Amino acid sequence: MVVGNQKEVIIETNNLRKDFNKTVAVDGLDLSVYKGEVFGLVGPDGAGKTTTLRLLAAIMDPTKGSATVDGFDTVRSPESIKERIGYMAQQFSLYRDLSVNENLNFFADVFGVSGKVRKERIERLLTFARLTEFRKRRAGQLSGGMQKKLGLACTLIHEPEILYLDEPTTGVDPVSRREFWDILTNLHVQGVTIVVSTPYMDEAERCSRIGLMYEGKLIECDTPEAIRQRVPGKVIQVWPSDRIQARDILRNTPTIHEVQSYGEQLHVFVDEIESGIKLIEETLANANIQVKAIRQVEPRVEEAFISLIRRRVAAGSA
């Protein structure tokens, strides 16, 4: 699947590395982000997602390697990069005792947006973030979801072409999250390049491409569909009468790769569907466990992700 019509690279890293004392936070990263795409960075805590975003935002210099953003080197031309990007950190600091309006005005000052342009832009951003009716409310009094939207609006005050968002929806409820992503989709349609880190796998599904980071390295980078297909074998969903017992038995069956629990159901990873279903049915029948339902399901990004990481960990400890 192509990403848009153009495939122009706008962000590129070359063997990018960042050490903090003895810890290698980012370890030889080779990453390309295409202009206009929504690129999702996913990975466990400490995988290097935040450090990567900071390196790309030219906030810190790499220990080794290099990165260019819109043609500018992050070490040599940080100022040119800062003009072109908007960066919303995980702990993005709004002024809690200032109103929505005052926060936007403050960021307009910082980025040198003034006069008529400023006025128009603030109005547009308020509408865009659906915050117009809350413009006089103090930021500290907004709900979590609204604070995130205000943070995004402040990040957009200088109309950056590239947007970095570090876990922008953590702790936000599903309804506000959906709204936040609708706003991101609007920006995407307008041509803004978005790099977003997230621990939510359903959000990863909304990206044009995702990069899975693990221990500072990019271990997979592709479209959500392609990543889903990278799960070894097929997934069978089983609804057994005794889930816990069924799980333990299936986990110890040699040709079954993996068993994951979903409520009353199990997702069983096998090489092939027909023989897999037969094997599961027979194995459970031998243990006097009834099968209430069994069918093939498509793996989700979350399952693909956990499966890929678990294989990494297994390979590392072997």
In the region spanning residues 284 to 303, those forming contacts with another protein, defined by CB under 8 A, are: 300, 302
The answer to whether the Cα torsion of 5, 11, 13, 19 is positive or negative is negative
257 binds another protein (CB under 8 A): no
306 binds another protein (CB under 8 A): yes
Of 9-17, 111-119, 132-140, 260-268, which part binds another protein (CB under 8 A)? 260-268
Which tokens is 229 given?
């297909």
Binding another protein (rule: CB under 8 A), the pick from 24, 28, 32, 44 is 44
Minimum distance, C-beta of residue 162 to another protein, in the bound complex (Å)? 16
261 binds another protein (CB under 8 A): yes
Residue (27 or 67) nearer to another protein, CB? 27
Residue (167 or 220) nearer to another protein, CB? 167
Of 9-17, 95-103, 115-123, 242-250, which part binds another protein (CB under 8 A)? 242-250
Residue 183 contacts by C-beta under 8 Å, 6 or more apart in sequence? 128, 129, 149, 152
* Three-state SS sequence of 259-272: EEEECCEEEEEECC
Which tokens is 137 given?
């409310």
Per the CB < 8 A criterion, the answer to whether 161 and 193 are in contact is: yes
Rounded Cα distance between 36 and 7, Å, is: 9
In the region spanning residues 177 to 236, those forming contacts with another protein, defined by CB under 8 A, are: 177-178, 181-182, 185-186, 188-189, 199-202, 205-209, 223-225
In the region spanning residues 151 to 170, those forming contacts with another protein, defined by CB under 8 A, are: 167, 170
Q: Which residue do the tokens 């590129």 mark?
A: 12
Q: What strand order describes the sheet that includes 193-197?
A: 85-88, 162-166, 193-197, 38-42, 209-214, 217-222
Minimum distance, C-beta of residue 105 to another protein, in the bound complex (Å)? 27
174 binds another protein (CB under 8 A): yes
Alpha-carbon torsion, ordered 302, 307, 309, 312, to 10 deg: -160
Point out which residues bind another protein (CB under 8 A).
1-2, 4-5, 36, 42-47, 143-145, 167, 170-178, 181-182, 185-186, 188-189, 199-202, 205-209, 223-225, 243-244, 247, 260-264, 300, 302, 305-306, 309-310
